[in-house]
Amino acid sequence: MKRRARSLWSIVLFVALLLQTFGLTAVPQNNALAANDSSVQAAADYGLPSKTSDGVIFHAWNWSFDNITRNLPALAAAGFKSVQTSPVQPTKEGSTDGSKWWLLYQPTHFSVGNTQLGSRDQFKKMCDEAQKYGISIIVDVVANHTSNAGGGSSTYIPGTNVDPAIRNNPYFWHEARGVENWNDRWQVTQWGIGLPDLNTSNQELQNMIINFLNDAISLGADGFRFDAAKHIELPDDPNGSASNFWPRVLGSLNNKNNLYIYGEVLQGGADRFAAYANYINLAAPTYGHNVRNAVGFGSAINVNSATSFNANDVNPSKLVTWVESHDTYANDSKETTGMNDWQIKMGWSIIAARAQTTSLFFDRPVGGGTLGQVGSTLWQDSDVTAVNKFHNAMAGQGEYLRTQGNQIMLIERGTKGMTIVNLGGDTYINSNTNLASGTYINQASGGGTFTVSGGKITGNLGGGKIAVLYEAATPTPTISINVAEGSFYTDTLAVKMTLSNADSASYSVNNATETVFRSGDTVTLGAGASFGTSFVLKIKANNSAGQTVKTYTFVKDDANAALKVHYYKPSSWSTPNIYYYDATVTPKKEGAAWPGTAMTSEGDNWYSYSISGWRQAKVIFNSGSNQIPGAEQEGYSISGEKWIKDGAIYSQNPDVVRPTISIDQPEGTFSGDSLGVTVTYQNANNATYTLNGSAAVPITSGQKITIGAGDAAGTVYSLVVVAANAKTSTTATYTFTKQTSSKDITVHYYKPSSWGTPNIYYYDETVTPKKEGAAWPGVAMTNEGGGWYSYKISGWNQAKVIFNSNGQQIPVSEQPGYLVTQNSWIKDGIVAGQQPESSTVPVTFTIKDASTNLGQKLYISGNIAELGNWDPAKAIGPASNPNHPDWTITINLPVGKSIQFKAIKKDGSGNVVWEGGDNHTYTVSASSPAVDLYFHN
């Protein structure tokens, strides 16, 4: 976990716990696709896969948004599909001291932008630019806790600058104490880990988190990494600790099918590691430890340590693997700080060459550094980039691992490529292979060639080197320009056009005649044009692999506009100065020279300044030797009127507490004659409501409004609630439709293996009075075979369902049932609209060159029940041999399972001949369900 700050002051806060009522929502598994066609094409231009999950992630730890933006071309060229940011939420302090990296894990608010990394606008600019390269942006999210008020007795007390809407709500907090027994699941999810623990079961708090995540998505985020995910409860956690956080929050995200989401679930104690895989992908910390051992960090070199993922049988496609993480590098124990670059590079070559998993490359900071600065350049090493490109080119290919002793691993991907990692001295490779015959040129720095002939690969590999072998496709042309799209404020704008991998290129402006150009040429736009004129620059580049087309839009604009900036100064500052400039124009425009102009006090630590004649600017605040953003960082991007506080940019004063409004019913359709809607509001002195444009009616918080009585089916209702206080008001609009007809819903349920025939109990509490089917325990379901049971609920539009058998029930007591609105399949807590695919896949084994004596046949024996648990009497077979001496056999095996096995020969008398050599290994893959091997005599 994260190291926490130690402070000296203390605050006493009584934290109450309210058990929340919640409902479960089906959560689609992450498909992790690129966001749209343009980003898919951009990814192809740079040789990147379209799916986030098929690529590798660059962890730009502590990098500012602007530094990420500047390095996107190089990151794409290095083969990184995704960039993971540090947490983007506002932090408890404005310090940019690199030793205080943990500040980023002590948030005060659920919003985008902080002093250390940059503003909301800078975040959006980064995301927009990333899309041009087909790069996905993954945001580190802190949803489990906030900043604290200090050490000692204040460790579990929220900091004074935590958002008041969070800090002052007693129902948003768990008990103010830390975990004492890591094997106690209640403590792990309900007590703190060195910081104030948020009550993530509270649906109002969940709504804040959902709104924050959807805001990040609207700005361009393509996925999330959940910090401390192990400490956010699951829907089936025991002893009343369960909540619907994961299905409800993830199910409420916009564009959810295209997001890549994973979480930090540290293995050990009451981790429930495999259960989290039902909702999110998972980091694989134990495997990282094993990889470090494999390359000789903390133990003798032994590549065999890096074969098994040791991930509680979680399918490898659900794992994020790494050599080291920011925690192992920077935490108090500094577990991996002593690793050298060679060990990191060799470990990366192992994990990033493998199939199915998504690997993350952690970028170490340089020295103590400053938060926001770029880190080490090891990510640009030629071997790192060679393995990245190999990983991308091998997307969808299966995996076969071979080892030569303890120092050499051969990672074969289908029949298309292989990476060889040599942790020892100079060596001669001579191994079986499935690669097509031919000569392969090493794409890595070790150079040389390898020959494949007759199912064998041979070649020389230097000590401590890697070989990356495959036929690399010719990359498509890439195009870039030196200025940002959008408005420019001078008479002309010079755009420099740069190409790579291009044989020819041309450009046109506003669809005029195309002009041929060379890389580095400049086109000038805007001369003499009126304000508001748009210029569309289209660039085409060609080579033998195809054509790339890029379109850029610019607008000549009038600089005569007005900006107003409000700034909440740190308490230790005197009157702040504002320095402002605009770098989007040439030459760069600035206001008064550094340190700028003194701002005007508005009271309560707020200061303001109006910038006449400007439509946009970047602003930096300073007082004495202090400045925010820090040295070498760009200013906050401003347009219109903005308020800036604690690194976050707002469109209105954040210190003005706005009323909040909520209702107890979901919007949409309702059945029955009427619907009762209870309206609740906070931070308001009064409120009114209107229904379908009627006159406003005063309403008190907690009052119920009944709609629909006596109206015709199909009537639509618009309920508008306005709540006000002395400073501001909030308006909320809710829409309902009286259901026109009822329908049938068939529920399919996959029962636990220990249950008998399950009963289904179903009810609907959205109508008054509450409607239910048969009284508890409900109705026996019908056996469909294969563990599935079904029941048809006739004449209902929706229902909540609970399953039970012999005193056991799911969901457990005091939890609401699963919500179903259509034919549904429910398995392991997941509600789906179609039957889940089988968890097994038929795998075909081909055993080559296995000569037999009269009466002998070939079988497969291995370390799992499906292969007989090494008992030759239970071995699977016999195999068929239409092409003697080659044998084939197909066996149904569990997807994602890592197995060890051997071929054996048996005759009718039970005599057994075991295959020699090491056990074969294979991770069962639905995308590559085939294993070829030679019988080792």
Tokens matching residue 342: 């060679």
User: SS3 for 620?
Assistant: strand
Residue 346 sits at φ, ψ, to 5 deg, of: -70, -40
Count how many residues are written for the chain.
937
* CB-based contact 716:735 (threshold 8 Å): yes
The span from the CA of 114 to the CA of 89, in Å, is 6
The span from the CA of 401 to the CA of 413, in Å, is 9
* CB-based contact 219:127 (threshold 8 Å): yes
Tokens matching residue 433: 């292979």
Q: Which of 227, 324, 327, 866 does the annotation list as catalytic?
A: 227
User: SS3 for 110?
Assistant: coil
- Residues contacting residue 674 through CB under 8 Å, at least 6 positions apart: 706, 707, 708, 709, 768
- Residues contacting residue 491 through CB under 8 Å, at least 6 positions apart: 526, 527, 528, 556
Tokens matching residue 908: 């009718």
Tokens matching residue 710: 């006596």
Residues facing 451 on adjacent strands: 439, 458
Burial of 517 from C-beta contacts in 10 A (0-12 / 13-18 / 19+): middle
In angstroms and rounded to an integer, the radius of gyration of the C-alpha atoms of the chain is 31
Q: Is 471 a catalytic residue?
A: no
The DSSP secondary-structure symbol of 167 reads H
Residue with tokens 């041979």: 458
Tokens matching residue 171: 């129902």
* CB-based contact 29:251 (threshold 8 Å): no
Q: Which of 66, 93, 264, 886 does the annotation list as catalytic?
A: 264
- CA angle (256 as vertex; 44, 739 as ends), nearest 5: 140
AA letter at 921: T
Closest CA to 517 of 482, 542, 544, 536: 542
Residue 410 sits at φ, ψ, to 5 deg, of: -110, 120
Distances (CA, A) of 291 to 306, 329, 344, 349, 691: 5, 15, 10, 10, 63
Q: Is 918 a catalytic residue?
A: no
The span from the CA of 788 to the CA of 801, in Å, is 16
Number of Cβ atoms within 10 Å of the Cβ of 464 = 16
Helix orientation angle between 203-219 and 120-132, rounded to the nearest 10 degrees = 50
- Strands (E) across 743-853 are located at 745-750, 759-764, 771-772, 779-780, 782-785, 788-793, 799-805, 808-810, 818-820, 824-827, 830-832, 840-848
Q: What are the percentages of helix, strand and coil residues in the chain, rounded to 5?
A: 15, 35, 50
Which residues are tagged catalytic? Answer: 227, 264
